[in-house]
Structure 1
Amino acid sequence: MELESIPAYSGFRGGQVGQPYNEAAFRHFLDVDRRRAERSTRSLLLVLVAVRQSAGRSAKLTDATAAALFRGLDACVREVDFVGWYREGHVAAAVLPQGVKAAGEVTHLVAERVLRALKKLLPAEQSRNVRVRVVRLGGRVRI
């Protein structure tokens, strides 16, 4: 497995948070954080962003679109979060560790915030087809 933060496909050069991880590195760190969350009451949010080509299919992203997606994600994440390729060239993602188990309304708010940021950065045609999905992972319930 190659752990590097140099994107293989995108022209994105990084922002205040840094460069997006390639798919292998992103999935490695996602797995590490997921296992950590499963052992605790904490959870993490996985934000998945894609531009739909047709029903159920993500479009292959151009460098310009990938750069816009990562700029949008970068604008919505904190220093402790990380971004990268969930599926190289097709699905960008971010992992947001949470201090406590995230409620359903938090996932909805995060999705809205990311979608608003992306719609400002993408051309109208792509903006209509962008999809943001937020999944809560981990977080044991302790009684």
Structure 2
Amino acid sequence: MGPPLIAVLNGPNLNMLGLRQPAIYGRATMDDLEQVCIQAAERLDVAIDFRQTNGEGELISWVHECRGRARGIVINPGGYSHTSIALMDALMAVELPVIEVHISNIHRREEFRRHSYVSQAALGVICGLGVRGYALALTAMADTILDEDDR
């Protein structure tokens, strides 16, 4: 049996990293972000399935695919954080540990960004630390998986 699989799912507009509002989201591109995740996974001895979509339905389908396949989900739902009860329901339905990540600090932004439905399904939330937040989320998820295996 290989290393545990962690799904790293990214929602809308994250494909525009490095171009979209660099003062808020930084200059790292989606390729840079994927490299951060690959390096963290290698260090942690976990496998990742790194994906990005602009479609809510596709993101929900990917969450469903994780049940029975992945050990945990690291997700940056983008704007769906603040709007998608369906995504929250999907994350709850798969009964996997979830860590929510945001590149910017959503609590220092517009009022509507300060509420996340996805947080209702998450063990924890990492925000405001740029793409480094993903490495921290993967570390926390790897620790969570180890804790589950020790039970």
Q: Larger % of helix: which?
A: 2
TM, length-normalised to structure 2: 0.30
TM, length-normalised to structure 1: 0.31
Q: Larger % of strand: which?
A: 1
